[in-house]
Amino acid sequence: MKRVTMGGQTVEEAVEKALAQLHVPKEAVDIVVVQQEKRPFLGLFGGKEAVVEVTISNPFFCVESFLKHVIEQMNVRVNLSCQAEGDRFVVSLSGQDVARVIGRHGQTLNALQLLAQGVLNRYTDRPLHVVIDAEGYRKRREETLVRLAKNMAKKAIQAGQDISLEPMSAWERKVIHTALSDDERIQTFSVGVEPYRHVVISLKR
C-alpha cells in the first residue's frame, strides 16, 4: 500500500499534509502517530514536531470517490453500488440515465473503467482490478460478441480468407479470442494501435 511519513507543528497538521500529498480523504487511510509534538521549553529550545505515518488502507474507497465525482460532473441520474470481491472492485451502475454512461458499444463505460483502473493503480502496489458494469450490459455484450465471433469465423472458413472485425476494447477482443480458441481451423490475433486495435480471424495454413 502507498505510505508517506510527514511532519508538522501538530499531529493534525501533519495528517492534513500527508492527505494532501496522497490526494485521498481521511476515510481511506490508517494513521500512526510516530511522534507527538513537543513545545519548546520557554519557547526557546527542546521542541519537536509531530510525525505521522499515513497508509492508504482502502484504495477502493478512493476509486468510489472518484467515480461519484465523475458521475456528478456528467450530470446523469445514475446510482452507484460498489462491492469488493477479493482482488476486484466491482461497481454496478443503474438508473434513469444509465444508457448515457454505457455509450455506443460500451465505449463510455469502458473509458470510465479505464480511468477508474488508473486511479486504483495510483493508490496501491497490489495487482487489483476495477470492473464496472451497468444493469448487466457486459454480460449481454459478451453474449453478442460470442455470436459475432462464431458467425465471422464461419464466414472466414467459407470464404477462405481473413476477416477483420471492427475496433474493440481490450476486454472485447479477449472475449473474441476466447470464444474461438478451441476452433482448430482458425486463429485470431489483434492488430493496430489503440483505439483502432481490432481482431483478425485467419485460417490456419
Q: Write out the DSSP string of 84-102.
A: EETTEEEEEEESTTHHHHH
- State which amino acid sits at residue 110: N
136's CB contacts (< 8 A; 6+ apart) are none
Which residues span the domain enclosing 117? Answer: 60-135
Cα–Cα–Cα angle for 99, 152, 101, nearest 5°?
A: 10
Same domain, 80 and 115: yes
Among the residue ranges 36-40, 128-132, 169-173, the one predicted with the least confidence is 36-40
Is residue 144 domain-shared with residue 191, that is, in the same domain? Answer: yes
pLDDT at 45: 61
In this prediction, residues 82-96 reach a mean pLDDT of 90
Using 50, 70 and 90 to split pLDDT, how confident is the model at 173?
A: very high
Nearest CA-CA partner of 33 in 12, 2, 58: 12
Q: State the pLDDT at residue 10.
A: 85
Other C-beta atoms closer than 10 Å to the C-beta of 122 total: 16
Higher pLDDT, residue 10 or 165: 165
Q: What's the pTM value of the predicted model, to 2 decimals?
A: 0.70
Residue carrying the nine cell digits 484504495: 59
CATH of the domain at 65: 3.30.300.20
**Last residue in a domain, options 135, 164, 190:** 135
